[in-house]
Amino acid sequence: MTTVDPTPTSLPAALAEPTVPVGRGWIALLFAANLGVWMAFFTPIQVLLSQQLGQIAPGSKEAMLAVVTGLGALAAVIANPLAGALSDRTCLRLGRREFGRRHVWTLGGAVFGALALVLLAEARTVLGVAVGWVAAQVCFNAMLASLTAAVPDRVPVAQRGGVSGWVGIPQALGLVLGVVLVTAVVSGNAAGYLVIAAAVLLLALPFALRTTDDPLPRTHRPALRGLFAGMWVSPRRHPDFGWAWITRFLVQLGNAFGTLYLLYFLTDEVRVADPEGGLLVLILLYTAGLMTTTVVAGRLSDRSGKRKVFVIAAGMVIAVAAMLLAVAPTWPMAITAALLLGAGYGVYLSVDAALITQVLPRATDRAKDLGVINIANSAPQVLGPAISAPIVVYLGGYPALYATTAAVTVLGSVLVLKIRSVP
C-alpha cells in the first residue's frame, strides 16, 4: 500500500490516502484530458511527422524519422519523472489564495504543448521538426505526469481498477480519433497539427479548471536539494515497486515487439492486398477489444480486491495472440489476434495501473514515482527496434519475433507474483 513519511501532525489533504469515491463527472473530465494528451502523442508519430519529413527530406525520410522520434522518446524519459518531481514540490499562492500542485502542470503542459504543435506546423527543416517535437514531448509529458498522479491523489484504492480502466481507454482511442481527424476531417499537414493542438486544449482545460486540486502546505514540501537523487528508487528498500517496474517494462517490451513491424508483417508475411487498409482494420479491432475489457476487468479487480491474477491472465491472453501470429500468419488469424491482443491488453492496462498506485513508496513523491514507472513505458519504444530488427532479419523472421513477444510477455506478467504487498 502507499506509505507516507511519519509526521507529528495530521497529513494535509494533498498527501492523505483518499477515502471519498470520485464521481462520474470527475472521471469523464479526466478521461477527456487523457484523450487529448494521447492524441497529441500518437497522431504526430503515426501520421504527421512521417508526412512532414517525407516532404522535407524525401531521400532520407526513414532515417530522419528515426532520429526525430528517438530524440522525442529520450525527452519523454527525462521529462516525465522530472516534471512529476517538480509537481510533487509545487506550492503556489497568489495573495491569500492557494493553488494545488497538479493542475498548473496540466494547464501549462496543454497550453505550451499546443504552441509546440503550432510551431511544428510551420517547421521547414529537419532541425526545426526535431526541436518542435522535443518541445512537444517535454510539455505533454509534464501534463501526463500530473494527470497520472490524479488517480492515487484522489481515487480510493477500492475504486482504482475501474477508474484506471477509463483512463486507459484513451491510449488506444486517441490514436484512432487522431488519425481520423488529420486524414478525414482536415487536409494538409499544417492543418493536422493545428486541429490536434485545438483538441488538446478543448479536452484538457476543463479538467484543470473545474476539478479540485488540493494545495500542498510548504511545511510538507519535499526539499528541492534531493530532487535528482530522489529519481532513483532503490529496489532493495522498495522491492514491490522494483518488481512492478520490471513487470511493466517486460510487458511493454513485448507490446513493442508485437506492434512495431505489423505493417511489414501484413505486407511480406500475410501478403494482404492493401496492407495500410489492413493495418487500420487491425487497429480498430484492437481498440474495440481493449474498450470491451478494460473497465470491466478493473471493476472486477476492485470488487475482488485482487490484482495479480488479472495481470497474469492478461499476459497469457496477449501471449496466445502473439503465438497465433507466429504459427499461422494468415489474415483471418491476424483479425483474431488483434481482438485477443486488445482484450488482453485492456485487462492489463487497468489492473496493472491500479496495482502500481498501491506500491508507490511515498505520498510526497507520487507523481515522480509514477514518472519513473513511465520510463518502463517509454524505454521499450527505444529498445524495441534495436532488438526486434535482428530477430526478423537473422534469427527466424516474423515467427521468431512473435514467439519472442509471447515469451517476454509471459515472463513479465508472471513476475508480478514477486510483489508481496498487493493480493
| C-alpha triplet 81, 177, 256: angle, nearest 5° | 50
The 8-class DSSP code of residue 340 comes to H
Whole-number pLDDT of residue 143: 97
Question: What are the residues whose beta carbons fall under 8 Å from the beta carbon of 166, sequence distance 6 or more?
Answer: 27, 30, 31, 294, 295, 298
Q: List the CATH code of the domain at 23-158+169-217.
A: 1.20.1250.20
Would you kindly state where each structural domain of the chain is located, as residue ranges?
23-158+169-217, 232-423
Q: What is the mean pLDDT of each run of 10 residues along the chain (423 residues)?
A: 48 92 98 98 90 91 86 91 94 77 96 98 97 97 96 96 96 91 91 97 97 90 76 92 97 87 86 88 93 97 97 97 95 96 96 97 92 89 81 91 96 97 96
The CA distance from 205 to 110, in Å, is: 8
SS3 259: helix
Question: What are the residues whose beta carbons fall under 8 Å from the beta carbon of 258, sequence distance 6 or more?
Answer: 318, 321, 322, 325, 341, 402, 405
The CA distance from 19 to 17, in Å, is: 7
At 127, list the grid cell: 532541425
Q: Evaluate the CA torsion angle 292, 252, 385, 194 in order and state its sign.
A: positive
User: What pTM did the predictor assign?
Assistant: 0.90
CB atoms within 10 A of CB 279: 18
Whole-number pLDDT of residue 3: 46
Whole-number pLDDT of residue 162: 97
Q: Evaluate the CA torsion angle 169, 401, 338, 294 in order and state its sign.
A: negative
Give all strands (DSSP E) within 203-245, no chain letters: none
The yes-or-no answer to whether 23-158+169-217 and 232-423 have a common fold is yes
The length of the chain is: 423
Confirm if 234 and 372 have CB atoms less than 8 A apart: no
Q: DSSP string spanning 79-141?
A: HHHHHHHHHHT--EEETTEEE-SSHHHHHHHHHHHHHHHHHHHH--SHHHHHHHHHHHHHHHH
CATH superfamily of 232-423: MFS general substrate transporter like domains (1.20.1250.20)
Whole-number pLDDT of residue 140: 97
Whole-number pLDDT of residue 95: 67
Question: What are the residues whose beta carbons fall under 8 Å from the beta carbon of 407, sequence distance 6 or more?
Answer: 319
